[in-house]
Amino acid sequence: MSRITVACVDMAGTTVADDGTVLEAFAAAVSGELAVVGDTPSDIESGRRAGAAIVAGVLTGASTRADLEQAGAPLILDTIADILPHINSVAG
Protein backbone atom coordinates (compact mmCIF):
# COMPACT_ATOMS: atom_id res chain seq x y z
CA MET A 1 0.00 0.00 0.00
CA SER A 2 1.36 3.42 -0.95
CA ARG A 3 1.21 6.44 1.28
CA ILE A 4 1.35 10.13 0.55
CA THR A 5 2.05 13.06 2.85
CA VAL A 6 0.05 16.23 2.30
CA ALA A 7 1.70 19.42 3.51
CA CYS A 8 -0.70 22.17 4.52
CA VAL A 9 1.18 25.19 5.77
CA ASP A 10 0.14 28.78 6.34
CA MET A 11 3.24 30.87 5.82
CA ALA A 12 1.57 34.28 5.53
CA GLY A 13 4.12 37.04 5.34
CA THR A 14 7.08 34.80 4.49
CA THR A 15 8.98 34.20 1.29
CA VAL A 16 10.66 31.17 -0.22
CA ALA A 17 13.97 32.56 1.01
CA ASP A 18 12.93 32.46 4.67
CA ASP A 19 10.71 29.38 4.83
CA GLY A 20 13.56 26.98 5.57
CA THR A 21 11.60 25.16 8.27
CA VAL A 22 8.93 24.28 5.73
CA LEU A 23 11.49 22.98 3.26
CA GLU A 24 13.13 20.94 6.03
CA ALA A 25 9.76 19.34 6.77
CA PHE A 26 9.35 18.56 3.07
CA ALA A 27 12.82 17.04 2.92
CA ALA A 28 11.95 14.80 5.89
CA ALA A 29 9.24 13.17 3.77
CA VAL A 30 10.03 11.07 0.74
CA SER A 31 9.46 13.57 -2.07
CA GLY A 32 7.68 11.00 -4.23
CA GLU A 33 5.09 10.70 -1.47
CA LEU A 34 4.60 14.42 -0.89
CA ALA A 35 1.77 16.67 -2.08
CA VAL A 36 2.05 20.44 -1.70
CA VAL A 37 -1.02 22.59 -2.22
CA GLY A 38 -0.75 26.34 -1.81
CA ASP A 39 -2.36 29.60 -2.78
CA THR A 40 0.75 31.69 -3.47
CA PRO A 41 3.60 31.57 -5.98
CA SER A 42 5.95 31.02 -3.02
CA ASP A 43 4.02 27.87 -2.07
CA ILE A 44 4.36 26.56 -5.62
CA GLU A 45 8.08 27.28 -5.71
CA SER A 46 8.58 25.57 -2.34
CA GLY A 47 6.77 22.45 -3.49
CA ARG A 48 8.71 22.30 -6.74
CA ARG A 49 12.03 22.81 -4.91
CA ALA A 50 11.10 20.03 -2.50
CA GLY A 51 10.49 17.64 -5.40
CA ALA A 52 6.91 16.90 -4.37
CA ALA A 53 5.02 14.30 -6.38
CA ILE A 54 2.06 16.70 -6.58
CA VAL A 55 2.38 20.48 -6.62
CA ALA A 56 -0.89 22.34 -6.95
CA GLY A 57 -2.12 25.88 -6.67
CA VAL A 58 -5.52 26.49 -5.11
CA LEU A 59 -7.76 29.42 -6.00
CA THR A 60 -9.12 30.02 -2.49
CA GLY A 61 -6.46 32.57 -1.56
CA ALA A 62 -5.29 35.92 -2.83
CA SER A 63 -3.43 34.65 -5.92
CA THR A 64 -5.09 34.46 -9.30
CA ARG A 65 -4.94 31.57 -11.76
CA ALA A 66 -2.48 33.67 -13.81
CA ASP A 67 -0.24 34.16 -10.73
CA LEU A 68 -0.16 30.42 -10.05
CA GLU A 69 0.41 29.55 -13.72
CA GLN A 70 3.29 32.04 -13.90
CA ALA A 71 4.80 30.41 -10.79
CA GLY A 72 4.79 27.09 -12.66
CA ALA A 73 1.94 25.31 -10.88
CA PRO A 74 1.42 22.10 -12.85
CA LEU A 75 -2.06 21.73 -11.36
CA ILE A 76 -4.54 24.44 -10.33
CA LEU A 77 -7.55 23.59 -8.17
CA ASP A 78 -10.73 25.50 -7.39
CA THR A 79 -10.78 24.17 -3.79
CA ILE A 80 -8.51 22.06 -1.59
CA ALA A 81 -11.02 19.20 -1.80
CA ASP A 82 -10.21 18.90 -5.50
CA ILE A 83 -6.80 17.42 -4.59
CA LEU A 84 -8.28 14.08 -3.50
CA PRO A 85 -8.53 12.41 -6.93
CA HIS A 86 -4.92 13.42 -7.64
CA ILE A 87 -3.70 11.96 -4.36
CA ASN A 88 -5.58 8.75 -5.06
CA SER A 89 -3.98 8.47 -8.49
CA VAL A 90 -0.46 8.83 -7.01
CA ALA A 91 -1.08 6.67 -3.95
CA GLY A 92 -2.86 4.11 -6.14
State the average pLDDT for the chain.
Answer: 77
Question: Whole-angstrom Cα distance, residue 33 to residue 5?
Answer: 6
Mean pLDDT of 6-19: 52
Band of residue 4 on the pLDDT scale cut at 50, 70, 90: low
Band of residue 63 on the pLDDT scale cut at 50, 70, 90: very high
5-91 CATH? 3.40.50.1000
Q: What is the pLDDT of residues 13-53, one digit of tens each?
A: 554 445 555 556 655 555 567 788 899 999 898 888 888 88
Would you kindly state where each structural domain of the chain is located, as residue ranges?
A: 5-91
CA-atom Rg of the chain in angstroms: 12
Q: According to the model, what pLDDT value does residue 59 have?
A: 96
Beta bridge partners of 5: 34
